[in-house]
Amino acid sequence: MTLNNKLGIADSVELARAEEKISKKKAALLFESGRLDELEAGTYAALAEIHRTLFGDIYDFAGEIRNVNIAKGDFLR
């Protein structure tokens, strides 16, 4: 079972690999662009923007407050 994702990946191992690859590239872009310096540290808005940037190409819920519990592996989020 995997989280619903924009990539259409149903295999959890494949999704984890794609998530890692994409989010690492997006993290590098955040650092290189200077965008992190523009965000107010420790605020919900900053955390939501970072999450949206890292995972927005993968999940529709990226950067949003979830209204349902979801699990990934044995970890309930």
Which of 24, 12, 21, 26 lies closest to 56 in space, CA to CA? 26
How far apart, in Å, do the first and last CA atoms of the chain sit?
15
pLDDT at 67: 79
Q: Which pair of tokens denotes residue 4?
A: 């619903």
Q: Residue 75 — left, alpha, or beta (φ > 0 → left; ψ -120 to 50 → alpha)? A: beta
pLDDT at 73: 62
Residue-wise pLDDT tens digits, 11-68: 999 999 999 999 999 999 999 999 999 999 999 999 999 999 999 999 999 999 987 7
Question: Is the pLDDT higher at 21 or at 69?
Answer: 21
